[in-house]
A and B are shown apart, each in its own frame.
Chain A
Amino acid sequence: MKSMQDYRTIMTGNDAVAYGAKLARVKLISAYPITPQTTIVEKLASMIANDELDAKYVKVESEHSALATVVSSELAGVRSYTATSSHGLLYMHEMLHWASGQRLPIVMSVVNRAIGPPWNIWADQSDTMNQKDTGWMQVYCESNQEALDTIIMGYKIAENKDVLLPLMSMEDAFILSHTSEPVTIRDQESVNEYLPDLDLPFKINEEHPMGYGSYDTPDGSFMELKKDMVDSMQKAKRIIEDETRKFNEMFGTEYGGLIEKYRMEDADYAIIATGTIASTARYVVDILRKKGEKVGLIRIRYFRPFPYEEILSSLKYVKAAGVIDRSVSFSSGGPTYVEIVQGLYGKLNVPLSSFIAGIGGRDVRIQDIENIYEMLKSGNSGTYWINVKEVR
């Protein structure tokens, strides 16, 4: 077998994520297959079957049970992993709160897929945007390489003793999950050096039985526990920046921390996007720059904790900004737009527009992003649906 050291090959986003989990030395995987996530857990199952990965694989009857299993094993101090998508994630909703409320640093992959009805299996971030208030950190990946690396960085950040919150790492359905790109499988020894074994400060101990997340009252510490989660989410910002920088130094990557800025130094207009739409937008920025247009891109990597300060400082000198969301918050524009509006309120007077694009996997083309730029430049502001058909 070829040495894994700096092994560069071509693989799908889902395979990359499976390698990420393997490199992170997860010891328990529990999952229920759902399109387009299935090939992640299939790959991990075959790794275990072929003795390439020393982990226990627990088959369950639903996503709710998959996460419940992971919550339990993590509570026993075992680094655990699961992956899901769309309706599977919605089915986990209750367990998402158990994971974060019990302060378990679980990392889970989510392949962003539309929510029905009608049934639709294509890219759409509504599934995870629906879970933004569950106390999980959220990372939106742009490439297969980032999808692999984020699993490793994710455990490092989540397991930090000042954070101890779970993290979900996203891939856009099919655009990353089933599309092959060159990916470097990290050297295991370097990953071991970057990411030590899980050392949970409160794991289950048979000798000293304790009550885990059992019961609390209005006069107890319930409210304080919730506030502490908010405080930790805030503390996580610095830790994300630190750990991303350490990863970059170790593996020669150039990831931004909470956000990535592209050609924003002298930009008059900013496009803000997450996931793979940001890739197309970056390409459009280059096209427009060649034409002399002063436009830049802000890619939001972390939606939770939300990078308010970073976005605020990036938008200080722009004339207008447009936020592209591959999801919609019914009656209030895109979720990213809503977040930024509340972050800017009273601090910055920059016209901000919401662009809903690519819902249910509809293509977000170069032309669409060029149109968005034209709208920004001509002073339009409001909420717009991009590339929707005339409905009779």
Chain B
Amino acid sequence: MVKTVMVPVAEVSTRNHPTDSWRIQKPTIQYDKCIRCMICWKYCPDNAIEIKTGDEKAPNERVAKMEFPAIDYKFCKGCGICANECPEKCIDMEFEVIQ
């Protein structure tokens, strides 16, 4: 391949350029209030929310059996859309201390 012009292409996948480097606010889900509606998952523009099964602290036993959303902080850019869309207002956005 002869490159005669410069093209803004990274030879590696964006998997290796996670968008967490942009984040200044970090979302945290309060699982004891989360009803597992997955609206946050649906709206996240970065697909940074994964669907998981397991035993996150749930408001009741029935909900505990359901799949739950988990934020992948490697890709979450901190836009806060999930927090805004959550019907239970159980996602907190807080300024992150840069390590």
Interface residues of A (CB under 8 A from B): 101-103, 161-164, 201-202, 208-216, 221, 224-225, 228, 232
Contact = CB atoms under 8 A, between A and B. Distances in A.
Contacts of A214: 8, 10, 14, 17
Contacts of A164: 4-5, 7
B12 A210 contact: yes
B20 to A, nearest CB: 12
B9 A213 contact: yes
Contacts of B13: 208-211
B2 A201 contact: yes
Given A161-B2, A211-B17, A215-B17, A103 B7 contact: yes
A278 to B, nearest CB: 32
B15 interface: yes
Contacts of B6: 103, 221, 224-225, 228
Closest 6 CB pairs of A and B: A211-B10, A209-B13, A228-B6, A211-B14, A161-B4, A213-B8
Contacts of B2: 161, 201
B62 interface: no
Interface in B1-44: 1-15, 17
Give the interface SS of chain B, mostly helix, strand, loop or mixed: loop
Chain B interface residue count: which class? Answer: 10 to 19
Nearest to A209: B13
Given A209-B15, A211-B14, A215-B17, A163 B7 contact: no
Interface in B43-71: none
A232 B10 contact: no
Contact of B5 (A161, A208, A210, A215): A161
B77 to A, nearest CB: 11
Contacts of A216: 8
Given A161-B4, A162-B4, A201-B3, A210 B17 contact: no
Q: Which of B1, B9, B17 has the most CB of A within 10 A?
A: B9
Contacts of B5: 103, 161-164, 228, 232
B12 A202 contact: no
A84 to B, nearest CB: 24
A212 B9 contact: yes
A389 B89 CA distance: 61
B8 A210 contact: no
Nearest to B14: A211
B11 A210 contact: yes
A101 B12 CA distance: 19
A210 B7 contact: no
